[in-house]
Structure 1
Amino acid sequence: MTEASEAIRADQALKARHRAMWALGDYPLVATDVIPDLGPELIRATGVQPGWRVLDVAAGSGNAAVPAALAGADVVAVDLTPELLEAGRRLASERGVRLDWREGDAEALPFADAAFDAVVSCVGVMFAPHHQQAADELVRVCRPGGSIGLVNWTPEGFVGQMFAAMRPYAPPPPPGAQPPPLWGDEEHVRSLLGDRVSAFDAQRRGLRVDRFARAEEFREFFKSCYGPTLAVYRAIADDPDKVAALDAALTDLAARHLADGTMEWEYLLVKAERNTG
């Protein structure tokens, strides 16, 4: 087997693990019950207009895609995980909008160059393991003068801290894979998009989360619904001491951020235009 074919097989295996991870639990419930405001905020900030052709990358169950369709755009939602796409179809039907749901990899989007007026991703593309490949694809499929809009969890915010708390218990990442919360660092995103974009604007904002009355409620919800958390717990299921330690770490994290039944989860909102030159 050649080195190139080995790399292809390794990447296919990695993407299969990612697909399986996001099929665990109930991410659509996370999107609708915990972070429903993120998608509409992204669509407003990106300035999506009726008639625009919009691509939502790593769309999940459509947290940004459905609001874009409700705004009158012609929307394509692409994601690696068929189960999330099926949930998105149901949600779109309930909301009375139609859009195109496609299975696809954020690092190898199945679309032509410059095919979309706006390319967005709401806490989605940040989980693609190879950041530069994913960023290159975001730019490639956006037309010159088109808009790129991203919402990503910051490393310093609550979700970034949650991933840091889980890291000691998770299997080591494969070679070349980068931590998702890096997409919440302004300079990292600037370097990924580079001089191919202009009017780059990045703002740190806070999402008010009032879904959890107690820290333990947060922990149990994410243990049962959030794929990355579920995957870590599965990896340590045979070690009760590690399970107890991770339980304590997540409970402590939530308790430090929870006040009167609310939390604030920091995210980075990025807006940019693809250069016309």
Structure 2
Amino acid sequence: MERLPDVFADRIAVSLGDGHGRRAVLICAGGADLSAVAAALSRQAWAVGVCCLDPEAVERGQAATEAAGLVVDWRAGAAEALPWQDGRCAAVVCCGVNPAEAPVRSEIERILKAGGVVLAEPGSEVG
């Protein structure tokens, strides 16, 4: 599993700024270790949730953030069926997932608050 560089995690955290308790959801198709991103956002007062297709990646990420003393809501699942309530997220970060694909876009729109932000890794279309 490839761990995303801390500089990438820090750039995401800087881009989103202080969370003030707002929810940010990270979506991963699997393979990438999002624990650095989750930790960076958690340290900036974001309520962080991670949805990853790979259950083992979820277990590893949860162990890493718990070891750092951080509370992150790790869940195994697909980007096409996100396990969060409608309109509750201020930010969505996509890694290995194209947020412009119809089923994914629909789920992101469902969980994102009005005025929310979507960040995607380079090469993904935000639409």
The answer on 1:108 being equivalent to 2:78 is no
Maintained 8 Å contact 2:17/2:44: no
- SS of corresponding position for 1:112: coil
Corresponding position of 1:36: 6
Alpha carbons of structure 1 residues 120 and 64: separation in structure 2 relative to 1, 3 Å = same
- Shift of residue 48, structure 1, vs aligned partner: 4.4
Corresponding position of 1:15: none
Aligned residues: 124
- SS of corresponding position for 1:56: strand
Maintained 8 Å contact 1:42/1:151: no
1:105-149 Cα offsets, whole Å, 9 max, x none, are 10121222112122222x3323x8x82211222222111122222
Q: Which has the larger radius of gyration?
A: 1
Partner Cα distance (1:47, 1:150) in 2:
16
- SS of corresponding position for 2:60: helix
Q: Please list, as runs of the form range in 1=range in 2, the aligned pairs for 1:206-217 lying within 5 A after superposition.
A: none
Corresponding position of 1:124: 96
Maintained 8 Å contact 1:48/1:118: no
Greater share of helix residues, 1 or 2?
1
Greater share of strand residues, 1 or 2?
2
Q: TM-score, normalized by length of structure 2?
A: 0.82
- SS of corresponding position for 1:64: helix
Partner Cα distance (1:65, 1:146) in 2:
18
Matching residue within 181, 189, 200 for 2:126: 189
Corresponding position of 1:89: 62
Partner Cα distance (2:42, 2:73) in 1:
10
The answer on 1:67 being equivalent to 2:37 is no
Partner Cα distance (1:36, 1:113) in 2:
30
Matching residue within 84, 107, 110 for 1:137: 107
Corresponding position of 1:258: none
The answer on 1:45 being equivalent to 2:15 is yes
RMSD, aligned CA: 2.2
- SS of corresponding position for 2:121: strand
The answer on 1:54 being equivalent to 2:27 is no
Sequence identity (%): 26
1:142-166 Cα offsets, whole Å, 9 max, x none, are 11122222223x3xxxxxxxxxxxx
1:46-81 Cα offsets, whole Å, 9 max, x none, are 234231111111184324222111111111111111
Corresponding position of 1:151: 121
Q: Please list, as runs of the form range in 1=range in 2, the aligned pairs for 1:158-169 lying within 5 A after superposition.
A: none
Gaps of 5+ in 2: none
